[in-house]
Amino acid sequence: SLSEQQSVEQEAPAGEDYHLWHPFSQMQKILGAQNIVVERGEGPYLYDQNDKRYLNLTSCLWNAPLGLGRQDIIEAVHKQLNELSFAALFRTAHRPAIDLARKVAEIAPKRLNRVFLTSNGSESVESAIKMVRQYFHRKGSGKYKVISLENAYHGVSYGALAASGFADDQQGFGPMPAGFVKIAQPFNRDSQTEAEREAFEIACAEQLEKAIVAEGPETVAMFILEPVQGMGGAIVPGQAYFDIISETCKRHDIKLVVDEVTTGFGRTGTLFASERFNLDPDVMCLGKAISGGYFPLGAAVATDEIWEAFLSDTDAMRFNHGSTNAGHPGACAAGLAAIDILTRDNLIADAAARGEAFLERLQELKELQVVDNVRGIGMLFAIDLVRDPAGREQLDAEAMDMVAKACFARGLWVHIAGSRILMLPPFILEDSHFDEAFSGLKRILSRVP
Ligand code: PLP
């Protein structure tokens, strides 16, 4: 049974003398039981306080696709901190920020050319929303509304949270800021055939037009989406979806904002998902893998057209936004080093090829009665679990807890989101790692009652 696999060495629970408040975590559970304390990381592995080894199938929080403990990135950061440990970007500049912005502009899709540095993904999304709203304000337009997708995850600050589509995450934090509108995510688990799938996606894309008309096009500023939803469950729409939403945004003068915090830097098999789906965004939000997970970093990358609306000989027209540590010199050095490695040779394409082979193997799991659906693209995978495939009852929290415990007991570090297993492995995994992951998952899932 599953519980037999949970023979981890138990350490005393955290207890009274524990002051750390974890994000998105039930502290009572953490205080009441032995919890994993990660002591060190090496390549694709994490090691806990008992020196137990875990295969990092999530690139931590998908921000470390190059693995942990890389000397090339650590040395770049070290060198930068020795030279200049900090300088702000409020009016004055520093070299690593200038170089990183140039690099990001060079590799960013199509018209994206101006790089506003941040410290994380939420701040990138927040910056994008404020940038687009103030852009229209500067132009004397009344456009301010933000349309986004249900089940989207855009972050935790109020704008990003309001744009996000998980109701649980907003509960008790209200009121949300005004002017945020949701449309359906392009996914329906009942679509059986390719044709049904496409028809559903097209209907979802057409909801954008309907929402714009219902709200009044003169009030709608932007549509934000993750080209492939990550937390929402590895949702990969077909090209028709992207073509329709792109055309709709252009026709109504609505800015297309892509949240590539998860998909950026190779996760879906190309450097940016926007390239893969031929998107021509007005703003792109970046975070996570931009620094390989070696320093907090993010960016909102905009077109010249947006940037120019803020140019003036008066300060009143500037972009009134920014935070102290955004574009920290050490973060920029990490970013430059990580991007250099990510864009070298065929690292991303090779990873995507191994990902494709892994996805094919994962499809075998659909034979198990607990597995409802397996999806993925590049190095991003989701497995949806159900209690009863016929009755369509999702696996409950208690059973998912057991699945999580069994995975961790087996040394497989996965991410559990609702009744779904998410995996976003590092790009450095080799065939033997995928074998280990697959056989472990198969064994665990075949024992779920
Ligand atoms: N946008 C997307 C698509 C994300 O996946 C995340 C984080 O998971 C964020 C934004 C928020 O990024 P951060 O957690 O760095 O604030």
Q: Per-residue pLDDT tens for 322-345? A: 999 999 999 999 999 999 999 998
Task: Tell me, in angstroms, the distance from the centre of ligand 1 to residue 276's CA.
Answer: 20
b/e burial code for range 394-426 (CB count within 10 A of at least 16 → b) = bbeeebbebbbbbbbbbbbbbbbbbbbbbbbbb
Q: What is d(CA 143, CA 121) in angstroms, rounded to the nearest whole number?
A: 24
In this predicted structure, what is the pLDDT of residue 13? 61
- Asked if residue 222 has its Cβ within 6 Å of ligand 1, the reply is no
ipTM score for this prediction: 0.99
Tens digit of pLDDT per residue, the chain (449 long)?
Answer: 454 444 444 455 667 789 999 999 999 988 888 889 999 999 999 999 999 999 999 999 999 999 999 999 999 999 999 999 999 999 999 999 999 999 999 999 999 999 999 999 999 999 999 999 999 999 999 999 999 999 999 999 999 999 999 989 999 999 999 999 999 999 998 888 999 999 999 999 999 999 999 999 999 999 999 999 999 999 999 999 999 999 999 999 999 999 999 999 999 999 999 999 999 999 999 999 999 999 999 999 999 999 999 999 999 899 999 999 999 999 999 999 999 999 998 999 999 999 999 999 999 999 999 999 999 999 999 999 999 877 678 999 999 999 999 999 999 999 999 999 999 999 999 999 999 999 999 999 999 97
CA of 360 to the centre of ligand 1 (A): 27
Dihedral, CA atoms, 409, 412, 416, 420, nearest 10 degrees? -110
**Residue 33 has which token pair?**
């039981």
Does the bond joining 426 to the residue before it have cis omega, within 30 degrees of 0?
A: no
Looking at this protein, which amino acid is placed at residue 69? G
Which numbered atom of ligand 1 lies nearest the CA of 226?
A: 3
Residue of 62, 126, 161, 288 to mutate, ligand 1, most atoms within 8 A of C-beta: 288
Say which residues have a Cβ less than 8 Å from residue 256's Cβ, sequence separation at least 6. 222, 223, 245, 246, 249, 279, 280, 281, 282, 283
Question: What pLDDT was estimated at residue 17?
Answer: 85
Q: Is 259 in the pocket of ligand 1 (CB under 6 A)?
A: yes
Confirm or reject: Cβ of 155 under 6 Å from ligand 1. yes
Please give the model's pTM, rounded to 2 decimal places. Answer: 0.96
Tell me which residue has its CA closest to atom 5 in ligand 1.
262
Q: How far is the CA of 121 from the centre of ligand 1 (A)?
A: 5
Determine which residue's CA is closest to atom 13 belonging to ligand 1. Answer: 121
CA of 211 from ligand 1 middle (Å) equals: 25
Distance (angstroms) between ligand 1 centre and the Cα of 207 equals: 25
Q: Which residues pair with 383 in a beta bridge?
A: 374, 421
Query: CATH for 2-69+348-446, among 3.40.640.10, 3.90.1150.10, 3.65.10.10, 3.40.50.180?
Result: 3.90.1150.10
Locate the domains of the chain by residue range: 2-69+348-446, 71-342
- Ligand 1 neighbourhood includes 261 CB (under 6 angstroms): yes
pLDDT of residue 98: 98
Rounded to whole angstroms, the Cα distance separating 324 from 123 reads 12
Ligand 1: atom nearest CA of 121 is: 12
Q: Which residues of 253-268 are buried (b: 16+ CB within 10 A; e: fewer)?
A: ebbbbbbbbbbbbbbb
Interval between CA 132 and ligand 1 midpoint (Å): 19
Token output for 223: 């549509």
CA distance 428 to 369: 32
Position 345 scores a pLDDT of 87
Q: How far is the CA of 122 from the centre of ligand 1 (A)?
A: 6
Distance 343 CA to ligand 1 centre (A): 22
Q: What is the pLDDT of residue 399?
A: 95
Output the pLDDT for position 215.
98
- Alpha carbon nearest to ligand 1 atom 10, residue: 154
Q: pLDDT value at position 449?
A: 76
CA nearest 223: which of 251, 189, 198, 200?
A: 251
Residue matched to tokens 């472990």:
440
Query: What pLDDT shows up at residue 7?
Result: 43
For the domain made up of 71-342, give the CATH fold: Aspartate Aminotransferase; domain 2 (3.40.640)
Atom of ligand 1 nearest to the CA of 263: 3
- Other beta carbons within 10 angstroms of residue 246's beta carbon come to 18
Task: Tell me the best of 261, 268, 325 to mutate to test the pocket of ligand 1, counting ligand atoms within 8 Å of each CB and taking the most.
Answer: 261
Q: How far is the CA of 244 from the centre of ligand 1 (A)?
A: 25
State which ligand 1 atom lies nearest to the alpha carbon of 160: 10
The verdict on the CB of residue 63 being under 6 Å from ligand 1 is: no
pLDDT of amino acid 8: 45
Whether the CB of 262 sits within 6 Å of ligand 1: yes
Angle between helices 239-251 and 194-215 (to 10 degrees): 10
* Residue 122 beta carbon below 6 angstroms from any ligand 1 atom: yes
Output the CA 97–ligand 1 centroid distance in Å. 22
